[in-house]
Amino acid sequence: MLYPQSDVAVVGATGYGGAELIRLLSTHPAVNLKHTIAIDKVGLKVAEVMPNLNGLTDLTIENLEPEQVEVDLVFLALPHRVSATIGARYQACDVQVVDLSGDWRLRDPSQYTKYYGLEHPFPERMGSYVYGLPELNRAQIAQSRCVASPGCFATATTLALLPFARHGLLQGRVRVSAMTGSSGSGAAHSAGTHHPVRSVNLKPYKPL
């Protein structure tokens, strides 16, 4: 079966999220992966940076401004705050955007400040992204030009509780105990993500 293809770019291509996107998109029948964009490793082949992607793409890491990227759809795999600014620029270019950060998941600027400890740079645009959980918002996602990918804990918690909620079986406050792998911290190095510290260990992550 032939699928109509969309030209796609991955921004933040050298992080863990970006690398996984490249792996998935490279073999998707409806995707023509056109650009892999980052501010580091520029000029290197994707497979040189991430050997596990060898044979999937011949693309080179590029450092391009949003206004230079001519595609139908952009995936943003960038840190919080950075993604908000870059995402707004892609919106201005009339490109469809899927954002993997937390910058566009919330609709209330005060909630963003509460949970992320920062003022949102574009509070007037909050609410312009559809929350990208297909099990809840499939129809809205299909009609939207901007989608905010939900976080890992939110996705796991929501999908686990959804059947109970739909059958009216949830009462009172729900408490969830969840764990994530160390790769959830991203590719950046820090004392808290160093392998000898994280390996075969369990560490509380923002318990309150």
Would you please indicate which residues are annotated as catalytic (active-site) residues?
Answer: 152
Residue 117's identity, in one-letter code, is G
From residue 89, give the alpha-carbon distance in Å to each of 7, 54, 94, 131, 187. Answer: 18, 31, 9, 20, 25
| H or E element that contains 36 | strand 31-37
From residue 121, give the alpha-carbon distance in Å to each of 5, 78, 114, 117, 145. Answer: 33, 15, 14, 12, 20
DSSP helix/strand/coil, 94: coil
Residue pair 104/146 in contact by the 8 Å Cβ criterion: yes
List, in sequence order, every residue forming a beta bridge with 75; answer none if it has no partner: 10, 98
